[in-house]
Structure 1
Amino acid sequence: MILKKRKPLFITSLSTLTLSILTATSAHAQVSAVLPTLVIEGMDENDPTRTYIDYQQASVTRNNLNKKDIPQTIDTIDVQKYKLYGANDLSVMLQGTPGVSTSYDMRGDGIMLRGFSADSSDIYRDGNRESGQVRRSTANVERIEILKGPASVLYGRSGGGGVINMVTKYANFNTASSFGAYAGSYDNKGVVVDINEVISDHWAVRLTGEHGKTESFRQGIESEINMLSPSFTYNNQNGLTWTAQYTYDKLHRIPDRGPAFQNLPEGTSIKTGFAQDGDFVDDKLQVIRSNLRYDLSDTWQIHWAASYREAYQNFDHFYLGTYCATEFTPVRTGGACAGHVGEISQVYYWQETSNSTLANTLELQGEFMTGALRHQLTVGFDYSIEEREPKLANENRDGSPIFGYVNPLTGERTSTRGSGDLQIRTHNYAKGTSSGLFMQDLISLRPDLDLMLGLRYDHYKSQAQNRLLSSDDINYQRSISDQTLSPNLGVVWRPALDHALYASYSRSFAPFGGRVSVNTVSANQNLELFDAEPQYNDQYETGVKSDWLNERLSTQLSLFDIRKHNIRYRPDPDADPYLWAVQGEQQSRGLELSFIGRVTDNVYLRGGYGYNKATVKEDKASPGNNGKSLAGVARHTGNLFVRYLPNDNTYGEIGVTHVGDTWTNLSNTTKLDGFNRVDAAVGYNMDQWRMTLAVSNLLDKEYWRSNAMPGTPRSLLFRVNYTFD
């Protein structure tokens, strides 16, 4: 495998500039101490300063190093800053994060990292892949970590834009307990509990839970969440720590998914809902995990994490649809609009999908010397089995499609839902097995200069079975496997104690022609025609991480260039169906700046800005796409929040979230207009009581999260929490 690749021009120029700075600087400062694992460790979750203090480490890096020692961009988001405004879904919380584009999808999360999709393979919970079709609730999540850019050296298969890791709340010896309640607009109300008790010097237990219900600004739309997560932690005070946790998270909802707004007649209100009577979606997540760490010595540690995860989604509803401008407007499944002019013709679907993941990771971390060089080494082994079994129906037994109709101007609904005698058209089973061995070494060449080297070997296998036709016939089973290597390389130079400059190269792979999900091969596919070659994403990144104002303010600035290549196609499938060739290349370039901290004794701020130009560099199959922007990627993203604390008891906050214009298709013919959303909050503390009143979309801005989903109008949320030891 040839890994050599020419550096992009702007990275080469910046590297030359960086080298000039390095040469011109003669003072070298030695970092003599490692900062604590978390600056905010043990801080009350509802402390008004917590969401404005950065984490010094991120578990997404898998090496226990300070984030400044990692030659890639890492963002860490405390979820409490979004809970304040009532957000719970992952995609909502990531809105405005530099380099991250989000959209609405009824079935899951619509998230793009640095121009490439992260939905199928790049979202993790406590280091274990969150694969499958399910809405990802953050009800038991403490923080969100984002490692930007290709990360296959740590996690295997990937879409190439980065990795998102949700870190959950678990029993510990520092966190206080609390009860809370909230109420707000659209009949939004709920209760939360977080009891963390230290039983002895060796044992701590924790129980977190949430029950909440809410309606919507959209007619007929509502949801209900129930989450419960007990855990315990054992610490023998002699180097061994073990945490065990179970999480149950269920979300029942009446789905909100309509036709593209461009197709709706003038005068349609954004408050119009399109759900029919009887529509529902149930998402259920269950996770059992074990996390064991043991200090072998003062400098060596072993870590074993195991988890079993089940995600289940069941929906029965009408969705999408086409506006019937005339009687003969074509409908998606071939129906007609006769008799329904001026209405939305909806397509009916029933689906039941189960996903399970069994994951094991084993890591050895430590320090050693080779001559004058200090090594901080991480060696790891990953093994996982992922299974997915979808069942799908969208027709009656006689083969006739099922339609519903909604008048968008009056809200009147007509359902042709049958008696339930459905024709199941799909029942597949898919299984993905993967194992990976990786090594990453941070080598201190000098007190102010580090070199990062990493390499990973992956072996992966995909199996499929058509259970609708046969459960054991070999003619309806398929299996394919492959392997690959993933490298990374980086350098970190600290010209001064508070500043770290870095440059890096990293690669990720998407197996089987870019198919990163579990169901990569179908049960009736001709494997002789199957393209088993992986796609690759190569990134060059350079930047600087700094502390200012006596370490009260932290900043990150980075430039990156990602190339997706080895994209495959058939030049002439009729003449030679077995011939695959390279279709072309996609490119994502950009700049990201983030900052968090305290600028004066009473003023805190956090935010950032991202510029992301993601385009088709070359497309031999469809040359008309050359130069077009990739769909779903906002060119500009950013946010800025300012919090003022005049005293220990009160605070006020105001912030703006910016999302730029976004093309919704690769042909660049339809576009979502960008928006600026202003949010504000006030808080008051009295002894152990904490109260907040938050206003989302303060200026009542009308905007669209996707081409079929408007953003929520102005809404209020009041929260109260009681904290106790």
Structure 2
Amino acid sequence: MSRSLPLLLLLSLPALTVNAAVAPAYRPVATNGPEDDTAQKGRLNGQVRDEQGRPVEGVSVALKGTYHGTATDASGRFRLTAPEGDYQLAVSSLGYELQELAVHVTAGQTTTLPAFTLVAGSQALQEVTINGSRSLNERPVAVGKMPIAPLDLPQSTFTVERQVLEQQQVVRLSDALANVSGVYVSGNTGGYQQEISGRGFSFGSSNTFKNGVRYNNSILPETSSLERLEVLKGSTAILYGNVAAGGVLNLVTKKPRFESGGSVGLRAGSYDFYKPMLDVYGAVNGSEHVAFRVNTTYENSRSFRDGVKGERFYVNPSLLFKVGAKTDFLLEGDYLNDNRTPDFGLGAINYRIADVPRSRTLNTNWANIGTQQKSATATLTHRLTENWQLRGVAAYQGFSSNLRSAARPTTIRDSVDVFAGLNKKGEPNKILTGSPALYGNLVRSLQATDISEDYFLGQLDVTGQFRTGLLRHTLLVGADADKYNTVNVAYNRVANYDSINVFEPGRFNARTSQPDFSRNTRTFSPIRRVGVYVQDLISITDNLKLLAGVRYSYQETGSQQLTYKDGKLGELTKSSDDAFSPRVGLVYQPLKTMALFASYSNSFNLNTGTDNTGKALVPTLVDQYELGVKKELLDGRLSANLTAYQIVNGNLAQTILADAANYNSAFPAAKELAGEVTSRGIELDVQSKPLNGWTVLAGYSYNRTTYTKSNVYTVGSLLRYNPNHTANATAFYTFEQGPLRGLNAGLTALYIGERQAGRSARNNVVNDQYRLIELPDYAQLDASVGYSLDRLSLRVKLSNLLNQLSYNVHDDNSVNPIAPRQFLTTISYRL
């Protein structure tokens, strides 16, 4: 439900009385500068490489004596527009000799210049050489919707760039997230999706985006097409509505280019892992107005887990249309077909993990989950004026999944001979009934589900910079509408399919035939959402900025069920909710390279179920407070950000217990808003630009998420799956001179602290059905080495070098071991 807005927020929303044009309030990316719109213009294209032929990012390219300049992109390319005439083009970068070239710009034409080769200057060895890229606090995140440099944003952000993704040979999303503090894998249920969490809260599909559009993460996302991974930590409800409080992930794919290029490669590794990859881009038929890009890959693999295998095909085509000088139209497609063996790991025996080989599996030999995901996104960007921009997005995503598998292992038999003794408190364990001969036996049952989902999005944003009196503004005004149509077909469970033993796989004759599954129910779950929002970054002075805004969200949720047994179609029930999500933050910059910030934001989570009168529950409100400091060190070569936060998820829906005074037997599953979860923590992120051959990433996070109010769980008890401590560090060194030039090597370390799984203890209830599984901490170390020669490159990686053993556990029935030591190698050729 709505909350009143702070008076400060209301006073900060300016009247749209625009004074004379002013410089943007954010730190801009290099641009062509002001131009005379009446002059006839032409374009210069080119590329900058080093002496090994490798593209160099961030090189300054400018027409001397003018405002026209830009910087090279990740592929070393640049595009420069200027009025017709003769100029002197200057190409410069720290540590390299200045290069100049006389050029002529012809109106209405594009001139492609010969490639520039940077030559190390005579003092290059005495200087710090920085090859491109922007620092952690310089690159705005696209998922933030506003062109605000992170140093001006009262919120923690992190970006994993393409160079890191390639050096680490990232295959799964978890590989990339190993570089981000406080964001971690909290579960791996079924082995076909990675459950991600941050700051104590799960990142569901509502918190996962691809190019700014919600992305169903019930499948392993494909990473081969990524240009970068963006993480916007903390509350983002003002931008996207109903999202979990921990933050959002945005997968940014590679975009079309007008210059021809690309790469072809093969990735291979342990357990018969093979992955050919192709990336091609360029202008369509040499056009200056239409460019394309196609990323595609095929993956075939087995696993360290017995009988587990996977196969997938992925393609990501895109087209960019330059519709005039001020309008871009981008079309992006995405198709993924994934088939693999579901792997629910090992179930716990009496809430303890069985000591069996890492490779042991409990599923049938025919189990499979087949998933298809397809999407299409159209993005129109129009520069209304020098200071104002209009951006519209229309998107569709289709998702379907078919699961045929054994159920999660939940009823593994135990034995009195094994678990007698004392617990950690020195108290006698409960004596369990059963025969020692049954120890480790599991009677397997089967499950089947079909899920299909269609998702549609329409979004319109206007951003601009202007003045009101002495105040400078960077304004975002937007609206979005989206809908889900989800159909879930549940099949009748097949009980007593056969028996297996966790410790002796050959004790029983396992069945190999797949039975016919009969349909049970078909549930249609439509969701409709609409939101409008406004957000303004107000520069009160050069070093004091206020970010304030609010979003109004309306959501309608429905459900309709068909029962196949009697053919009865139930009524389509609907419920609606609305909420205001305010945000206010203050940034103070005592130095140009330092920012102190404080912020408050409010978000909401929808509740399912009804109260004790049968009425739908209102949304749960989440208050988030954040304090932090961001600092650029060593003349901008190193960024270090420290953030502290508190998240209070109040009015949390919890089941009304049967012995409670407000229990109503007419609604036995009724809930009440009686709970509260509080998350507190700190995060440290450190990231360097590539300098003197070194690239460094590091982070640390402390989080404690507990029940601070509850009628069900013990107050003060920890939420499951969340480690109190995580840490990460990556260091890569590239030889830039001498006979080893082109060689690079690095180490990546990840630490995950102690966690809890199992089932949270009920408040004041002694019951063996609610016991926790304590998971010990572990550290994982990866080693990488690579070599590039002209257009050819080779990389080799050993992951989990110390062969650490740990588990990702969901409840007590999905105990998935992490991968052992493995090798991975990639050979690629740049086109």
**Normalised by the size of structure 1, how large is the TM-score?**
0.87
Gap regions ≥5 residues in structure 2 = 7-23, 32-56, 59-70, 77-129, 419-433, 762-770
CA contact (8 A) 1:347 1:404 kept: no
Given the alignment of the two structures, is residue 153 of structure 1 paired with residue 254 of structure 2, yes or no? no
Change (3 A) 1:270 1:261: farther
CA contact (8 A) 1:99 1:611 kept: yes
Stretch of structure 1 that moved more, 112-121 or 672-681: 112-121
Deviation at 1:343, TM superposition (A): 3.0
Structure 1 partner of 2:149: 66
Change (3 A) 1:87 1:222: farther
Deviation at 1:225, TM superposition (A): 1.7
Change (3 A) 1:411 1:451: farther
Change (3 A) 1:599 1:285: closer
Given the alignment of the two structures, is residue 34 of structure 1 paired with residue 28 of structure 2, yes or no? yes
Deviation at 1:689, TM superposition (A): 0.9
Deviation at 1:320, TM superposition (A): 2.0
CA contact (8 A) 2:390 2:462 kept: yes
Deviation at 1:118, TM superposition (A): 1.3
Change (3 A) 1:527 1:306: farther
* SS of alignment partner, residue 213 of structure 1: strand
Q: 1:226 aligns with which of 313, 331, 339?
A: 313
Change (3 A) 1:156 1:470: farther
* SS of alignment partner, residue 206 of structure 2: coil
Given the alignment of the two structures, is residue 186 of structure 1 paired with residue 271 of structure 2, yes or no? yes
- Structure-to-structure mapping, 1:495-534, within 5 angstroms: 495-511=590-606, 513=607, 515=608, 529-534=614-619
Structure 2 partner of 1:566: 651
Structure 2 distance, partners of 1:395, 1:576, is 28
- Structure-to-structure mapping, 1:239-318, within 5 angstroms: 239-261=326-348, 267-318=355-406
CA contact (8 A) 1:395 1:402 kept: no
CA contact (8 A) 1:235 1:241 kept: yes
CA contact (8 A) 1:348 1:403 kept: no
Structure 1 partner of 2:825: 718
Deviations 1:178-231 (A, max 9, x none): 111111111111100000112322111011001111111111111112101111
Change (3 A) 1:687 1:605: same
Deviation at 1:476, TM superposition (A): 2.8
Amino acid at match of 2:598: A
Deviation at 1:551, TM superposition (A): 1.0
Amino acid at match of 2:73: G
CA contact (8 A) 2:308 2:343 kept: yes
* SS of alignment partner, residue 159 of structure 2: strand
Amino acid at match of 1:506: S
Change (3 A) 1:576 1:371: farther
CA contact (8 A) 1:139 1:227 kept: no
Structure 1 partner of 2:542: 447
Structure 2 partner of 1:162: 247
CA contact (8 A) 2:798 2:824 kept: yes
Q: 2:723 aligns with which of 617, 634, 638?
A: 634
Structure 1 partner of 2:74: 43
Structure 1 distance, partners of 2:720, 2:488, is 27
Change (3 A) 1:344 1:86: farther
Deviation at 1:653, TM superposition (A): 0.1
Structure 2 distance, partners of 1:470, 1:80, is 56
Stretch of structure 1 that moved more, 76-85 or 550-559: 76-85
Structure 1 partner of 2:473: 375
Q: 1:684 aligns with which of 787, 798, 807?
A: 787
Structure 1 distance, partners of 2:238, 2:566, is 37
Q: 2:288 aligns with which of 201, 216, 225?
A: 201
Structure 2 distance, partners of 1:167, 1:32, is 22
Deviations 1:669-717 (A, max 9, x none): 2121111000010110100111111110111112223361111111111
Change (3 A) 1:31 1:246: closer
Structure 2 partner of 1:93: 176
Amino acid at match of 1:127: G
Structure 1 distance, partners of 2:508, 2:795, is 39
Deviation at 1:4, TM superposition (A): 8.0
Structure 1 distance, partners of 2:525, 2:165, is 36
Deviation at 1:638, TM superposition (A): 1.5
CA contact (8 A) 1:84 1:719 kept: no
Structure 2 distance, partners of 1:580, 1:260, is 30
Deviation at 1:34, TM superposition (A): 2.4
Change (3 A) 1:411 1:233: farther
Structure 1 distance, partners of 2:347, 2:792, is 45
Deviation at 1:640, TM superposition (A): 0.3
- Structure-to-structure mapping, 1:7-18, within 5 angstroms: none
Structure 1 partner of 2:555: 460
Deviation at 1:89, TM superposition (A): 3.0
- Percent identity between matched residues is 25
Change (3 A) 1:382 1:414: farther
Structure 2 distance, partners of 1:387, 1:135, is 22
Structure 2 partner of 1:104: 188
Structure 2 distance, partners of 1:634, 1:643, is 27
Amino acid at match of 2:226: V
Stretch of structure 1 that moved more, 581-590 or 491-500: 581-590
* SS of alignment partner, residue 589 of structure 2: strand
* SS of alignment partner, residue 81 of structure 1: helix
Deviation at 1:306, TM superposition (A): 0.9
Q: 1:602 aligns with which of 677, 685, 693?
A: 693
Given the alignment of the two structures, is residue 354 of structure 1 paired with residue 443 of structure 2, yes or no? no
* SS of alignment partner, residue 194 of structure 2: strand
Amino acid at match of 2:816: M
Deviations 1:72-112 (A, max 9, x none): 00111236635655543324532463222312122533111
Structure 2 distance, partners of 1:679, 1:197, is 35
Structure 2 partner of 1:333: none
Amino acid at match of 1:563: V
Structure 2 partner of 1:21: none
Structure 1 distance, partners of 2:516, 2:545, is 65
Deviations 1:286-345 (A, max 9, x none): 001101100011111100011110111111111421323369x9xxxxxx9999654333
Q: 2:735 aligns with which of 627, 643, 646?
A: 646
CA contact (8 A) 1:133 1:311 kept: no
Structure 1 distance, partners of 2:783, 2:570, is 60
Amino acid at match of 1:493: Y
Stretch of structure 1 that moved more, 714-723 or 90-99: 90-99
Structure 2 partner of 1:434: 529
Give the count of matched residue pairs: 676
Deviation at 1:580, TM superposition (A): 6.3
Stretch of structure 1 that moved more, 661-670 or 59-68: 661-670
Deviation at 1:658, TM superposition (A): 0.7
Deviations 1:33-82 (A, max 9, x none): 5244996973249xx98899646111110112112221100111236635
Deviation at 1:427, TM superposition (A): 1.3
